Amino acid sequence: MLWLFSLLSYILVQTLGLVIAFAAAAVLLYMILRRFHSRLMTLLFCAVFLGISVFFYVPNGLPRGLDYASFRTTYGPSISPGLPFGNVIQFFLHFGQFEKVADIARDPNDVPQPIARTAPTKVHVDITAKEVISEMAPGVYINYWTFGGKIPGPFIRVREGDTVELTLYNDPTSLHHHSIDLHAVTGPGGGAAATMVAPGESKTITFKALHAGLFVYHCAEPNVANHMTHGMYGLILVEPKEGLPKVDKEFYVMQGEFYTTGSLGKKGLQIFDAAKMLDGQPQYIVFNGRTGALAKGMDGGVGETVRVYVGNGGVNLDSNFHVIGEIFDTVYPEGALRNPIHDVQTTIVPAGGAAAVEFDLNYPGNYPFVDHALARLDRGAWGVLHISGTPDPSIFQGAIQMGGGH
């Protein structure tokens, strides 16, 4: 409950505190001046005080706690990104019902096996939309909205030509409606137009995977950017009929941004900041939902080949995906599995897009992977691929020091 207290104290101290201090300062000023001056002179001095205050406060704005975004005018096709005030009340009333997830990060090894089938079939997929509480960083709590209680949502794997029957269930503990738009779908809203589900409700769509590729799926309930930046995204791989090259390891990585009223590292439960989202100024830019999520868990050995499926939930930034100390043998830019390019250092993963990268593991060590817009490292956009094995001095020689890399 400490983090709940920290949130309330933030609102009370920063916003209410300012109002109290300002009012008290005005009264104090009036009382002091009135002892030495006429009423008219005192009121004039107070007018100067008020005028200067307005001069400073109006351009700078009030503290974030009062700058609530549901009062903001925006020009999207649907509702603005601010949470309705009623939902904030609902959030606190129903606070106890949210599942507290120990680790929000999806295991990067959580990728289904390659498809061995040589003919199309009908595939059933069940996904549950769920709103939970978990840690972005130690002591920094976020009300995440998820597919399946983890970020990113489950990795869906089908074959070109398959028919997919997908059921979206919205957990009864959710406060919001949710839906799913899969970029692999040809049809209204990518499926979102037929999957809008209230808490406790479920809906089913059926679609044919007409195009091979690596596709993003995401919640498309308005305000869409708001739902996505809370964590509602994942990848669906539609394998080409002819299959993908065989590799030894496959990993699942997805970048996303989080916008909080508290600055980077501010402890306690963080409120979503719609104004910062509109301005494109995230506090956290992370892989798989939280800082440090992929510091461990991605392992390989010299002589192996790996493929990383990289997606970007956005909602504002393109990712510049790069593995420090490796060169991608093959990149499928923008998830186009029939159009690979080769010998690539850094590949762009657009917001709402994906790329797959493949490379041989040639030399042991720790290989950080990053968004190479490197200031984002400090907001959390990094992980590490651990490669074991025997060093080949013909590939690299040198005394390895801690903290190596660029």
Site of interaction with Cu ion (CB under 5 A): 178, 219, 221, 227, 232
Least distance between Cu ion and beta carbon 129 (Å): 6
Contact at 8 Å (CB) between 317 and 282? yes
Compute the distance between CA of residue 406 and CA of residue 403 in angstroms, rounded to an integer. Answer: 9
Q: Toward Cu ion, which CB reaches closer, 179 or 288?
A: 179
Q: Toward Cu ion, which CB reaches closer, 219 or 236?
A: 219
Q: Toward Cu ion, which CB reaches closer, 174 or 347?
A: 174
What is the DSSP secondary structure assignment for residue 16, as one 8-state letter? I
Contact at 8 Å (CB) between 156 and 191? no
- CA-based R_g, the chain, Å: 25
Q: Toward Cu ion, which CB reaches closer, 219 or 317?
A: 219
Least distance between Cu ion and beta carbon 145 (Å): 5
Compute the distance between CA of residue 9 and CA of residue 2 in angstroms, rounded to an integer. Answer: 10
Residue nearest to Cu ion (CB): 219
Compute the distance between CA of residue 317 and CA of residue 379 in angstroms, rounded to an integer. Answer: 13
Point out which residues pair with 321 in neighbouring strands.
347, 371
Contact at 8 Å (CB) between 234 and 288? no
Least distance between Cu ion and beta carbon 227 (Å): 3
Helix, strand, or coil (residue 8): helix
Task: Provide the greatest CA pair distance for the chain.
Answer: 95
Contact at 8 Å (CB) between 157 and 243? no
Least distance between Cu ion and beta carbon 115 (Å): 29
User: What is the pairing mode between strands 213-218 and 233-239?
Assistant: antiparallel
Least distance between Cu ion and beta carbon 1 (Å): 27
Least distance between Cu ion and beta carbon 236 (Å): 17
14: CB partners within 8 A, 6+ apart: 63, 64, 65
**Token pair belonging to 81:** 């990104």
Least distance between Cu ion and beta carbon 153 (Å): 11
Q: Toward Cu ion, which CB reaches closer, 236 or 306?
A: 236
Contact at 8 Å (CB) between 106 and 152? yes
Q: Toward Cu ion, which CB reaches closer, 258 or 321?
A: 258
Q: Toward Cu ion, which CB reaches closer, 156 or 219?
A: 219
**Token pair belonging to 328:** 């991608």
Least distance between Cu ion and beta carbon 181 (Å): 10
Q: Toward Cu ion, which CB reaches closer, 157 or 178?
A: 178
Q: Which of 34, 55, 56 has the alpha carbon at shortest distance from 45?
A: 34
Least distance between Cu ion and beta carbon 256 (Å): 14
Compute the distance between CA of residue 229 and CA of residue 270 in angstroms, rounded to an integer. Answer: 14
State the CB neighbour count (10 A cutoff) for residue 297: 17
Q: Toward Cu ion, which CB reaches closer, 219 or 286?
A: 219
Compute the distance between CA of residue 331 and CA of residue 322 in angstroms, rounded to an integer. Answer: 11
